[in-house]
Amino acid sequence: MTISIEKLNELQLDVLKEIGNIGAGNAATALAKLLNKKVDMAVPKVQILEFKKVPDLLGGADNLVVGILLNITGDINGYIMFMLEQKYARILVNMLMGKELKDICEFSEMDISALKEIGNILAGSYLSSLSSLTMLNIFPSIPDLTVDMAGAILSVPAIEFGKVGDTVLFIETAFLEHDYAVVGNFFLIPDVESYDILLKALGVIS
C-alpha cells in the first residue's frame, strides 16, 4: 500500500512540520558556524501545496532561481532539494565569500562551489535531524547545482511527487543575519516506497 501526502491528517502533518523545524534549526546553527556570525531563524512554514502553485512562491515559473539537489539513499531513497531565489543566493555568496556581487551572472566557479557547500550543509543538517528522529539511516550524495527557471527546476521534485499525487511537501525557512534575511525552500522528496517507511518510523502509521 502506498500513502499519499494528501491523505495525511493533522497529527501526521504536525510531525513533518516539527522535523522541518528541528532540521531548519540545525541548519541555522551550521550556517552560523560557517559564517562565524549569529544567525537567527524564523519559524519555518511547512505546507502541503498543489505543485501548480509552488512556482508562484518563487516569483513565477520563469523566474531565475538556484536549485541544489542531493540524492538520498539508505533506509529511505529519494531526493532533497534546496531552492533559493537569486537575490538570496547572492546575499549568501556575498556573506560567505566577503564579496559585493550585484548579479548572479558574476558568480565564479568558486562562488558556485561555496553555494553548493551551503546547500550540502543545510540539507545535511536537515537530514541528520530526520535520521535521528526516525532512527533510519539516511545518506546524502554530493550536491548538484543548477541555475534556471523556477518551473524547470521544480519539475524534478514535482514529477517524483506526481507519481503519488498532485501536491508537494514544502518547507520554507528564513534565516536572518544582521540586516539580511535569506529565505530558502526545502523539498523532501521520498520515492514512492519510502513514504510508508518514513511514516512508520515516525509512528504516524502502523
Partner 1 sequence: MNNLVKVGMADLNIAKCPEILTTLGLGSCVGIALFDSISKIGGLAHIMLPSSKQVKNNLNKAKFADTAIVELLNIMVNAGARKNNIVAKLAGGAQMFSFTKTNDIMRIGERNAVASREVLNSLSIPIIAEDTGGNYGRTIELDTSTGILLVKTIGYGVKQL
Binds partner 1 (CB under 8 A): choice among 35, 97, 156, 204: 156
- Please give the Cα distance from 97 to 188 (Å, whole number): 28
Binds partner 1 (CB under 8 A): choice among 55, 119, 124, 140: 55
- Please give the Cα distance from 184 to 195 (Å, whole number): 24
Our finding on whether 79 is near partner 1 (CB under 8 A) is yes
Our finding on whether 52 is near partner 1 (CB under 8 A) is yes
Stretch that binds partner 1, among 13-21, 33-41, 143-151, 174-182 (CB under 8 A): 143-151
The CB-of-72 to partner 1 minimum distance in angstroms stands at 12
Q: List, in order, residues 6 or more apart from 9 with CB less than 8 Å away.
A: none
CB 80 within 8 A of CB 121: no
Cell digits for 178?
544582521
Nearer to partner 1, 79 or 186 (CB): 79
What does R_g of the chain's alpha carbons equal in angstroms? 16
In which element (H, E) is residue 50 found?
strand 45-50
Our finding on whether 146 is near partner 1 (CB under 8 A) is yes
| Residues forming the site for partner 1 (CB under 8 A) | 2, 4, 51-52, 55, 60-62, 64, 67, 69, 71, 79, 141, 144, 146-156, 158-160, 162-166, 191
